[in-house]
Structure 1
Amino acid sequence: MACGNCGTGADGQPRGCKNNGTCGTDGCNKLTVFDWLSNMTIPEGQTGFNYVEVRFKNGRKDYYKNTESLSLSIGDIVATQAATGHDIGMVTLTGELVRVQMKRKKVKEDTEETLKVYRKATQKDIDIWTKAREREEPMKVKARQIAIRLELQMKISDIEFQGDASKATFYYTAEDRVDFRQLIKEFAQEFRTRIEMKQIGLRQEAARLGGIGSCGRELCCSTWLTDFRSVTTGAARYQQLSLNPQKLAGQCGKLKCCLNYELDAYMDALKEFPKTDVKLYTEKGTAVCQKIDIFQGYLWYAYEGEWMNWHQLTAANANEIIAANKAKEPVVSLEEFAAEIEKDTKTDFGNVVGQDSLTRFDKPKQTNKRRNNRNRNKKRTAATATTTKSNQKKPTQKKPAQKNTDQKKPAQKGNTNAKRSNNRRNRPKKKPNNDV
């Protein structure tokens, strides 16, 4: 849930609250908690839990006791107790959910280390706090330059001012121990404030700085992940991932935390599979596992000496062969089990792609008038084709040539018109042309 100030403007461009995670509604902060008990009233005779959860810069949270019985709600800016002076933070959780969070994080109530809430922050407190936050970025650049000049093997990742601007905490990462006594002297002389150095790990550094992961979303450590569990390369091996450090490492340089998310599901699925180092002994030869598919439940084996020919088996078939080997029962070959799998898994898929043209959307859309003209032209071409077909005649057979005779027939005298009419009557009738 984002605050109203982070919405889109009238011109369609995002405005942004420009508070860098400190907006009043606590909607765009890191590790935001939703209070699902906010609409429920406390029963009569019961008092609310007098502890509140207060968040500071970059997700740092702590629990404070509300000794003054202030009416606090989520999003209120309060002045809290600190080792020296006071600090300014934002209330992120109240009520009974604070008790649950303290129990989960093993924070005890009413101890010597318990801190309390002084008051709601006044406008003067907020102005001092805002000015101190504006100094952090230029101070970080200057602090890095000083560390480089002193040739210290460390990286200053972030600076956090206390709410009253009386102390600045420098967070840094380093592989080995660093002697920063001279560094603190120069920092105090340069920035004119109390200095505290705090070393953090690479995962904590990525959580404080934030960023976008390879999945395209914000880093889990900077949004919702609070506990950093150890991740080993065994998690990648169980999930059959290639051991490529460039793909398995996150922005912190360590193995990605998301490798542990699906590890339990893979471990449960692998319980049905035999171990890959177990060989299958048959009369044809000894077979070695080459590959497994956890999702479909298949294994591929190859005979020793025939590494190019793989035989597909199910996990149940492999376990059956292993049990037969332990019982010293003969197994002919793997082809028998592989043939059964091929019969069961062979499916006939329809030609779904061939039903429609893949380029049907590339052509411009035709109007109704153009479509009618096109249909009319098609009809005309069909009609002309039929007429040309009907006009075609059968090939005429040539009559045999008459023999030349020297004797000429005598010329017949009479009415020539009558002879022509008689010849027309005596002509054979033409057969109708049935080609059409």
Structure 2
Amino acid sequence: MSSQKIIGIRFQKVGKLYHFDAGQVDDLVVGDFAVVNTSRGKQLGQVMGYIEDPPKPPRGTWKKIERKATSGDLALRQALEQKELAITIECRAKASDLGYEGLKIVASEFSLDSESIAILYNFDDQNVPDLTPIGNVVRETYPDTELDFRRIGPRDVAKIIGGMGACGMAVRCCSTFLTEFSPISIKMAKAQGVSLDPSEITGMCGRLRCCLIYEYEQYVEAKKTLPKRGKKVVTPMGEGKVIDLYPIREVVVVLIDGAERKRMEFYKEEIEPWDELEALRRKSEAPCDKHENGECDCGKQSGSNKAKTK
């Protein structure tokens, strides 16, 4: 066990967890705020918990917690938020004046010491327009502050802006509890039988909905125990063909053979594979060739005797 005290720090309300060494700070508890030095300058983050078995540090050693935040630090962070909002509004106005269609100025972020500021933006096209005029707007007010334009993806935009989800939830998943984004593919929708209509599987960010991964593994595992579509099965109502599946419910939809062609639902315990039952039937009807001398007591005729009978 490491002698270091590694804690998890979160800089955004629903953000990624970063690890820091709190060995030099004894009075930190979960819920406290701390000041740390990062690659983006001095930042204020909240302690989310102590890491009992931390992974190896990414660059040889963990960055250290500088100190526990004071009430002055918290007040300063609130004041910076007002400045960030003003800068974001000014940059958006400048982008509009320049006619930069498709460019979204999403947010601005000051470091706690105000030595640097990052402008978060999104642009779908590969060829980003010249951002210098927008940067000049910021430099007029903060000439000595280091300025950085940081490009973010559409899912990050939706997370920061927030709002109602495409499903009708009052607040989007990404703004509520998703700290990291997982890769989402169309096969996840297919595996769950979700409609492939773009309006059904696309989130407010314009990408496939994050929720498509929530139950994907459960569907994949559940489908392994069910017959595939098109498979012939035997049910209590007769033989038929599988036309649909409800994996989580462990229910199979079967089109029953016959004139009426009924569509019926059965639990997986109620059906049997037709091919397996057919193989058993053929085996039971096959002639016995083990005892050609007629001493067979299995009740079957030998292959040669059966041929003579015919």
Structure 1 length normalisation: TM-score? 0.52
Query: Match for 1:301: what amino acid?
Result: L
Gaps of 5+ in 2: 234-238, 283-310
For residue 187 of structure 2, what is the aligned residue in structure 1?
Answer: 234
In the alignment, the residues of structure 1 paired with residue 232 and residue 7 of structure 2 have an alpha-carbon distance, to the nearest angstrom, of: 61
For residue 337 of structure 1, what is the aligned residue in structure 2?
Answer: none
Structure possessing the higher radius of gyration over alpha carbons: 1
In the alignment, the residues of structure 2 paired with residue 231 and residue 251 of structure 1 have an alpha-carbon distance, to the nearest angstrom, of: 15
SS of residue in 1 equivalent to 2:132: helix
1:110 deviation in Å? 4.8
Please report the RMSD computed on the Cα atoms of aligned residues, expressed in angstroms.
3.6
Does residue 196 in structure 1 map to residue 145 in structure 2? no
Superposition map of 1:363-374 within 5 A: none
Query: Match for 1:63: what amino acid?
Result: H
For residue 341 of structure 1, what is the aligned residue in structure 2?
Answer: none
Gaps of 5+ in 1: 1-45, 281-285, 330-436
In the alignment, the residues of structure 2 paired with residue 182 and residue 89 of structure 1 have an alpha-carbon distance, to the nearest angstrom, of: 31
1:64 to 16, 20, 31: 20
For residue 89 of structure 1, what is the aligned residue in structure 2?
Answer: 45
For residue 267 of structure 1, what is the aligned residue in structure 2?
Answer: 220
Aligned residues: 271
In the alignment, the residues of structure 2 paired with residue 122 and residue 217 of structure 1 have an alpha-carbon distance, to the nearest angstrom, of: 34
Alpha-carbon spacing, 1:183–1:63, altered in 2? closer, same or farther (3 Å): farther
For residue 287 of structure 2, what is the aligned residue in structure 1?
Answer: none
In the alignment, the residues of structure 2 paired with residue 123 and residue 316 of structure 1 have an alpha-carbon distance, to the nearest angstrom, of: 64
1:322 to 269, 275, 295: 275
2:119 to 161, 170, 176: 170
1:86 touches 1:164 (CA, 8 Å); kept in 2?
yes
In the alignment, the residues of structure 2 paired with residue 310 and residue 142 of structure 1 have an alpha-carbon distance, to the nearest angstrom, of: 65
In the alignment, the residues of structure 1 paired with residue 136 and residue 26 of structure 2 have an alpha-carbon distance, to the nearest angstrom, of: 42
Query: Match for 1:56: what amino acid?
Result: F
Alpha-carbon spacing, 1:257–1:57, altered in 2? closer, same or farther (3 Å): closer
1:154 touches 1:174 (CA, 8 Å); kept in 2?
yes
For residue 211 of structure 1, what is the aligned residue in structure 2?
Answer: 163
1:79 touches 1:119 (CA, 8 Å); kept in 2?
yes
2:92 to 131, 144, 155: 144
In the alignment, the residues of structure 2 paired with residue 271 and residue 50 of structure 1 have an alpha-carbon distance, to the nearest angstrom, of: 44
In the alignment, the residues of structure 2 paired with residue 189 and residue 79 of structure 1 have an alpha-carbon distance, to the nearest angstrom, of: 26
1:218 deviation in Å? 3.7
SS of residue in 2 equivalent to 1:57: coil
In the alignment, the residues of structure 1 paired with residue 271 and residue 40 of structure 2 have an alpha-carbon distance, to the nearest angstrom, of: 68
In the alignment, the residues of structure 1 paired with residue 72 and residue 269 of structure 2 have an alpha-carbon distance, to the nearest angstrom, of: 73
Does residue 129 in structure 1 map to residue 85 in structure 2? no
In the alignment, the residues of structure 1 paired with residue 28 and residue 201 of structure 2 have an alpha-carbon distance, to the nearest angstrom, of: 44
Alpha-carbon spacing, 1:77–1:240, altered in 2? closer, same or farther (3 Å): closer
In the alignment, the residues of structure 1 paired with residue 40 and residue 217 of structure 2 have an alpha-carbon distance, to the nearest angstrom, of: 46
> What do residues 39-68 of structure 1 show as CA deviations (whole Å, max 9, x unaligned)?
xxxxxxx99643333322342543332353
For residue 252 of structure 1, what is the aligned residue in structure 2?
Answer: 205
2:8 to 53, 60, 81: 53
1:120 to 59, 68, 71: 68
Superposition map of 1:304-315 within 5 A: 309-312=261-264, 314=266, 315=268
For residue 254 of structure 2, what is the aligned residue in structure 1?
Answer: 300
Query: Match for 2:253: what amino acid?
Result: L
Alpha-carbon spacing, 1:327–1:202, altered in 2? closer, same or farther (3 Å): farther
1:293 deviation in Å? 4.2
1:128 touches 1:164 (CA, 8 Å); kept in 2?
no
SS of residue in 1 equivalent to 2:80: helix
1:129 touches 1:164 (CA, 8 Å); kept in 2?
no
Identify the structure with the greater strand proportion.
2
1:140 deviation in Å? 1.4
In the alignment, the residues of structure 2 paired with residue 170 and residue 263 of structure 1 have an alpha-carbon distance, to the nearest angstrom, of: 36
> What do residues 257-311 of structure 1 show as CA deviations (whole Å, max 9, x unaligned)?
222222233223322332214468xxxxx9654434442623222669x7x7335
1:222 deviation in Å? 2.7
1:163 deviation in Å? 0.6
1:162 deviation in Å? 0.8
In the alignment, the residues of structure 1 paired with residue 278 and residue 151 of structure 2 have an alpha-carbon distance, to the nearest angstrom, of: 58
Does residue 158 in structure 1 map to residue 110 in structure 2? no
In the alignment, the residues of structure 1 paired with residue 270 and residue 40 of structure 2 have an alpha-carbon distance, to the nearest angstrom, of: 70
> What do residues 88-138 of structure 1 show as CA deviations (whole Å, max 9, x unaligned)?
333332xxx3244x42xx644753xx4222233345544433321111222
1:319 deviation in Å? 4.6
In the alignment, the residues of structure 1 paired with residue 10 and residue 228 of structure 2 have an alpha-carbon distance, to the nearest angstrom, of: 49
For residue 30 of structure 2, what is the aligned residue in structure 1?
Answer: 74
In the alignment, the residues of structure 1 paired with residue 224 and residue 60 of structure 2 have an alpha-carbon distance, to the nearest angstrom, of: 48
